[in-house]
Amino acid sequence: MAPRAVALVVTAAVLTVGGPGVAGVRLQCTAESRGGAASTLDVVAVNTGDEPARDVRPEVIYQHQTYSGETAALAPGARREWQVALAPPPESGTFAATIHVRYVDAVGGRGSVPVVAQVPAPDGSPSLVRLRLDAHKVARVGSATLLIENQDARPIGGRVVVVLADGLATDPESMPAQVAASGRTAVPLVLENRAALPPGSYPAYALFEYTASGEHHAAVTRADIEVVADVAGARARPLLVGVGALAVALVLLAVAWRRVAARR
Protein backbone atom coordinates (compact mmCIF):
# COMPACT_ATOMS: atom_id res chain seq x y z
CA MET A 1 0.00 0.00 0.00
CA ALA A 2 1.33 3.41 -0.94
CA PRO A 3 2.06 5.69 2.04
CA ARG A 4 -0.43 8.46 2.77
CA ALA A 5 0.36 11.80 4.28
CA VAL A 6 -1.79 13.08 7.09
CA ALA A 7 -4.34 15.62 5.87
CA LEU A 8 -3.49 19.21 6.68
CA VAL A 9 -6.48 21.41 7.40
CA VAL A 10 -6.65 25.19 7.28
CA THR A 11 -9.53 27.51 8.05
CA ALA A 12 -9.33 31.20 7.21
CA ALA A 13 -11.77 34.03 7.72
CA VAL A 14 -11.30 36.27 4.70
CA LEU A 15 -13.46 39.37 5.02
CA THR A 16 -13.82 40.63 1.47
CA VAL A 17 -17.28 42.19 1.37
CA GLY A 18 -18.10 45.25 3.46
CA GLY A 19 -16.32 45.83 6.78
CA PRO A 20 -15.83 43.99 10.06
CA GLY A 21 -18.89 41.97 11.01
CA VAL A 22 -19.63 40.88 7.41
CA ALA A 23 -18.77 37.20 6.99
CA GLY A 24 -18.18 37.33 3.24
CA VAL A 25 -16.32 34.40 1.66
CA ARG A 26 -14.89 31.94 4.16
CA LEU A 27 -13.03 29.01 2.64
CA GLN A 28 -12.06 25.94 4.61
CA CYS A 29 -9.49 23.98 2.63
CA THR A 30 -7.77 20.64 3.06
CA ALA A 31 -5.06 18.87 1.08
CA GLU A 32 -4.01 15.23 1.32
CA SER A 33 -1.30 13.50 -0.66
CA ARG A 34 -1.58 9.97 -1.95
CA GLY A 35 2.03 8.96 -2.49
CA GLY A 36 3.29 6.29 -4.81
CA ALA A 37 4.69 5.96 -8.30
CA ALA A 38 2.01 8.44 -9.46
CA SER A 39 1.39 10.99 -6.70
CA THR A 40 -2.05 12.57 -6.47
CA LEU A 41 -3.05 15.54 -4.37
CA ASP A 42 -6.64 15.69 -3.13
CA VAL A 43 -7.70 19.30 -2.50
CA VAL A 44 -11.07 20.15 -0.93
CA ALA A 45 -12.61 23.61 -0.48
CA VAL A 46 -15.81 24.38 1.45
CA ASN A 47 -17.38 27.84 1.53
CA THR A 48 -18.55 28.27 5.13
CA GLY A 49 -19.28 31.98 4.64
CA ASP A 50 -22.53 33.69 3.63
CA GLU A 51 -21.38 35.08 0.27
CA PRO A 52 -20.70 33.10 -2.95
CA ALA A 53 -17.20 32.58 -4.31
CA ARG A 54 -16.49 32.24 -8.02
CA ASP A 55 -13.46 31.22 -10.08
CA VAL A 56 -12.33 29.00 -7.20
CA ARG A 57 -9.34 26.88 -8.21
CA PRO A 58 -6.27 25.35 -6.59
CA GLU A 59 -2.84 26.35 -7.79
CA VAL A 60 -0.21 23.81 -6.73
CA ILE A 61 3.53 24.47 -6.66
CA TYR A 62 5.52 21.23 -6.47
CA GLN A 63 9.13 20.57 -7.45
CA HIS A 64 9.41 23.90 -9.30
CA GLN A 65 6.33 23.11 -11.39
CA THR A 66 2.86 24.67 -11.22
CA TYR A 67 -0.35 22.64 -11.51
CA SER A 68 -3.85 24.13 -11.66
CA GLY A 69 -7.30 22.67 -11.12
CA GLU A 70 -10.48 23.61 -12.96
CA THR A 71 -12.34 26.71 -11.80
CA ALA A 72 -15.59 26.28 -9.88
CA ALA A 73 -18.27 28.40 -8.22
CA LEU A 74 -19.00 27.80 -4.54
CA ALA A 75 -22.26 29.03 -3.09
CA PRO A 76 -22.47 29.36 0.71
CA GLY A 77 -22.21 25.84 2.14
CA ALA A 78 -20.98 24.32 -1.14
CA ARG A 79 -18.04 21.90 -1.35
CA ARG A 80 -15.68 21.10 -4.22
CA GLU A 81 -12.94 18.47 -4.52
CA TRP A 82 -10.05 18.42 -7.00
CA GLN A 83 -7.63 15.60 -7.72
CA VAL A 84 -4.35 17.00 -9.01
CA ALA A 85 -1.86 14.56 -10.55
CA LEU A 86 1.75 15.37 -9.66
CA ALA A 87 5.02 14.25 -11.16
CA PRO A 88 6.62 11.29 -9.34
CA PRO A 89 8.96 12.26 -6.49
CA PRO A 90 12.48 12.71 -7.87
CA GLU A 91 14.06 10.58 -5.12
CA SER A 92 13.24 8.81 -1.87
CA GLY A 93 12.18 10.81 1.17
CA THR A 94 9.42 13.34 1.73
CA PHE A 95 8.60 16.49 -0.22
CA ALA A 96 6.14 19.35 0.07
CA ALA A 97 3.47 20.83 -2.17
CA THR A 98 2.27 24.39 -1.63
CA ILE A 99 -1.34 25.05 -2.61
CA HIS A 100 -3.06 28.41 -3.00
CA VAL A 101 -6.83 28.06 -3.39
CA ARG A 102 -7.70 31.23 -5.28
CA TYR A 103 -11.16 32.79 -5.61
CA VAL A 104 -13.10 35.93 -6.52
CA ASP A 105 -15.78 37.31 -4.21
CA ALA A 106 -19.15 38.87 -5.03
CA VAL A 107 -17.71 42.36 -5.64
CA GLY A 108 -14.72 41.22 -7.70
CA GLY A 109 -12.17 41.11 -4.90
CA ARG A 110 -9.52 38.43 -5.25
CA GLY A 111 -8.15 36.29 -2.45
CA SER A 112 -6.50 32.97 -1.74
CA VAL A 113 -6.11 30.46 1.08
CA PRO A 114 -2.78 28.62 1.48
CA VAL A 115 -2.28 24.94 2.32
CA VAL A 116 1.00 22.99 2.52
CA ALA A 117 0.90 19.18 2.21
CA GLN A 118 3.63 16.58 2.54
CA VAL A 119 4.21 14.31 -0.46
CA PRO A 120 5.93 11.02 0.50
CA ALA A 121 8.03 9.03 -1.93
CA PRO A 122 7.70 5.22 -2.07
CA ASP A 123 9.90 3.36 0.43
CA GLY A 124 11.20 6.61 1.91
CA SER A 125 12.11 6.82 5.58
CA PRO A 126 10.04 9.12 7.81
CA SER A 127 11.28 12.53 8.87
CA LEU A 128 12.86 12.68 12.33
CA VAL A 129 12.16 16.40 12.69
CA ARG A 130 9.20 17.84 14.60
CA LEU A 131 8.04 21.43 14.19
CA ARG A 132 5.89 23.75 16.27
CA LEU A 133 4.85 27.26 15.26
CA ASP A 134 3.87 29.61 18.09
CA ALA A 135 2.35 32.88 16.89
CA HIS A 136 1.40 36.00 18.81
CA LYS A 137 -1.40 38.41 17.92
CA VAL A 138 -0.74 40.74 15.00
CA ALA A 139 -2.03 44.31 14.69
CA ARG A 140 0.26 45.97 12.17
CA VAL A 141 3.29 43.93 13.30
CA GLY A 142 3.56 40.77 15.37
CA SER A 143 5.92 37.90 16.00
CA ALA A 144 6.12 34.13 15.92
CA THR A 145 8.64 31.44 16.83
CA LEU A 146 9.30 28.21 14.96
CA LEU A 147 10.64 25.46 17.20
CA ILE A 148 12.61 22.76 15.33
CA GLU A 149 13.27 19.51 17.23
CA ASN A 150 15.80 17.07 15.79
CA GLN A 151 15.20 13.49 16.96
CA ASP A 152 18.13 12.19 14.92
CA ALA A 153 21.50 11.38 16.51
CA ARG A 154 23.18 13.50 13.84
CA PRO A 155 23.08 17.28 13.33
CA ILE A 156 21.07 18.61 10.42
CA GLY A 157 20.95 21.78 8.38
CA GLY A 158 18.29 23.05 6.05
CA ARG A 159 16.01 25.94 5.15
CA VAL A 160 12.87 27.28 6.75
CA VAL A 161 10.11 28.53 4.43
CA VAL A 162 7.10 30.45 5.74
CA VAL A 163 3.78 30.39 3.83
CA LEU A 164 1.16 32.94 4.93
CA ALA A 165 -2.31 34.04 3.92
CA ASP A 166 -2.61 36.94 1.48
CA GLY A 167 -1.98 40.24 3.21
CA LEU A 168 0.36 38.80 5.85
CA ALA A 169 4.09 38.79 5.22
CA THR A 170 7.44 37.98 6.80
CA ASP A 171 10.84 39.08 5.58
CA PRO A 172 12.70 37.00 4.64
CA GLU A 173 10.30 34.24 3.60
CA SER A 174 13.14 31.70 3.59
CA MET A 175 16.13 31.36 5.94
CA PRO A 176 18.76 28.76 6.86
CA ALA A 177 18.59 26.81 10.13
CA GLN A 178 20.94 24.40 11.89
CA VAL A 179 19.89 21.91 14.57
CA ALA A 180 22.28 19.96 16.77
CA ALA A 181 22.05 16.19 17.16
CA SER A 182 19.08 15.33 19.40
CA GLY A 183 18.69 19.07 19.93
CA ARG A 184 16.33 21.97 19.39
CA THR A 185 16.55 25.39 17.85
CA ALA A 186 14.15 28.33 17.83
CA VAL A 187 13.76 30.52 14.73
CA PRO A 188 12.23 33.96 15.45
CA LEU A 189 9.87 35.42 12.85
CA VAL A 190 8.46 38.92 12.37
CA LEU A 191 4.93 39.06 10.93
CA GLU A 192 3.44 42.09 9.19
CA ASN A 193 -0.17 42.86 8.35
CA ARG A 194 0.71 44.71 5.15
CA ALA A 195 -2.79 44.66 3.63
CA ALA A 196 -4.55 45.97 6.76
CA LEU A 197 -6.51 42.73 7.06
CA PRO A 198 -9.58 42.93 9.29
CA PRO A 199 -9.58 41.12 12.63
CA GLY A 200 -9.87 37.36 12.29
CA SER A 201 -7.96 34.09 12.20
CA TYR A 202 -5.62 33.47 9.25
CA PRO A 203 -3.56 30.37 8.38
CA ALA A 204 0.22 30.16 8.52
CA TYR A 205 2.57 27.30 7.60
CA ALA A 206 6.22 26.70 8.33
CA LEU A 207 8.20 24.24 6.24
CA PHE A 208 11.68 22.90 7.06
CA GLU A 209 13.48 21.18 4.18
CA TYR A 210 16.71 19.29 4.82
CA THR A 211 18.75 16.25 3.72
CA ALA A 212 19.66 13.35 5.99
CA SER A 213 21.38 10.09 5.00
CA GLY A 214 21.07 11.06 1.36
CA GLU A 215 17.29 11.55 1.56
CA HIS A 216 15.38 14.77 1.11
CA HIS A 217 12.83 15.56 3.82
CA ALA A 218 10.17 18.21 4.31
CA ALA A 219 8.66 18.71 7.76
CA VAL A 220 5.51 20.86 7.93
CA THR A 221 3.51 22.54 10.68
CA ARG A 222 0.68 25.08 10.74
CA ALA A 223 -0.81 27.61 13.13
CA ASP A 224 -3.52 30.26 13.14
CA ILE A 225 -2.47 33.90 13.10
CA GLU A 226 -4.90 36.08 15.02
CA VAL A 227 -5.13 39.56 13.52
CA VAL A 228 -6.45 42.18 15.93
CA ALA A 229 -7.50 45.79 15.55
CA ASP A 230 -4.66 48.32 15.54
CA VAL A 231 -5.89 50.26 18.57
CA ALA A 232 -2.60 52.12 19.07
CA GLY A 233 -2.58 53.27 15.45
CA ALA A 234 -6.23 54.31 15.62
CA ARG A 235 -5.49 56.42 18.69
CA ALA A 236 -2.35 57.91 17.19
CA ARG A 237 -4.11 59.28 14.10
CA PRO A 238 -6.60 61.56 15.96
CA LEU A 239 -3.77 62.67 18.24
CA LEU A 240 -1.65 63.67 15.24
CA VAL A 241 -4.61 65.49 13.71
CA GLY A 242 -5.20 67.33 16.99
CA VAL A 243 -1.56 68.36 17.31
CA GLY A 244 -1.55 69.54 13.70
CA ALA A 245 -4.69 71.60 14.20
CA LEU A 246 -3.22 73.15 17.35
CA ALA A 247 -0.02 74.06 15.49
CA VAL A 248 -2.00 75.71 12.69
CA ALA A 249 -4.06 77.67 15.23
CA LEU A 250 -0.91 78.90 17.00
CA VAL A 251 0.60 80.03 13.68
CA LEU A 252 -2.55 81.96 12.76
CA LEU A 253 -2.66 83.51 16.21
CA ALA A 254 0.98 84.63 15.89
CA VAL A 255 0.31 86.21 12.48
CA ALA A 256 -2.73 88.06 13.82
CA TRP A 257 -0.75 89.31 16.84
CA ARG A 258 2.02 90.64 14.57
CA ARG A 259 -0.52 92.51 12.43
CA VAL A 260 -2.06 94.14 15.47
CA ALA A 261 1.39 95.11 16.80
CA ALA A 262 2.35 96.58 13.40
CA ARG A 263 -0.76 98.80 13.34
CA ARG A 264 0.21 100.29 16.67
- In tens, the pLDDT along 101-159 reads 999 998 999 999 999 999 988 777 888 999 999 999 999 999 999 999 999 999 999 99
Q: What is the model's pLDDT at position 19?
A: 32
Give 181-198 as a DSSP string.
TT-EEEEEEEEEETT-PP
Instruction: Provide the whole-model pTM.
Output: 0.78
| pLDDT tens across the length of the chain (264 residues) | 333 333 333 333 343 333 333 348 889 998 998 765 568 999 999 999 999 999 999 999 999 999 999 999 999 999 999 999 999 888 888 999 999 999 999 899 999 999 999 998 877 788 899 999 999 999 999 999 999 999 999 999 999 999 999 999 998 989 999 999 999 999 999 999 999 899 999 999 999 999 998 899 999 999 999 999 987 654 444 444 444 444 444 444 454 445 545 555
Q: Which amino acid is at 153?
A: A
Q: What is the model's pLDDT at position 232?
A: 64
Q: What is the model's pLDDT at position 123?
A: 77
CA pseudo-torsion sign 162, 163, 165, 169: positive
Q: What phi and psi, each to the nearest 5 degrees, are found at residue 140?
A: -90, -35
Q: How many residues does the structure list for the chain?
A: 264
Q: How far apart are CA 19 and CA 17, in angstroms?
A: 7
Task: Indicate the SS3 state at residue 257.
Answer: helix
Total Cβ atoms within 10 A of residue 163 = 22
Spatial contact of 96 and 85, defined as CB atoms under 8 Å apart: no
In 3D, which of 136, 76, 81 has the Cα closest to residue 105? 76
Q: What is the model's pLDDT at position 262?
A: 53
Nearest 5 degrees, angle CA 1-CA 153-CA 135? 80
Residues linked to residue 84 through DSSP beta bridges, in sequence order? 41
Spatial contact of 5 and 124, defined as CB atoms under 8 Å apart: no
Q: What is the model's pLDDT at position 33?
A: 87
Q: What is the model's pLDDT at position 38?
A: 66
The two counts, helices (H) then strands (E), for the chain are 1, 17
Q: What is the model's pLDDT at position 88?
A: 86
Q: What is the model's pLDDT at position 230?
A: 85
Q: Per-residue pLDDT tens for 130-143?
A: 999 999 999 999 99
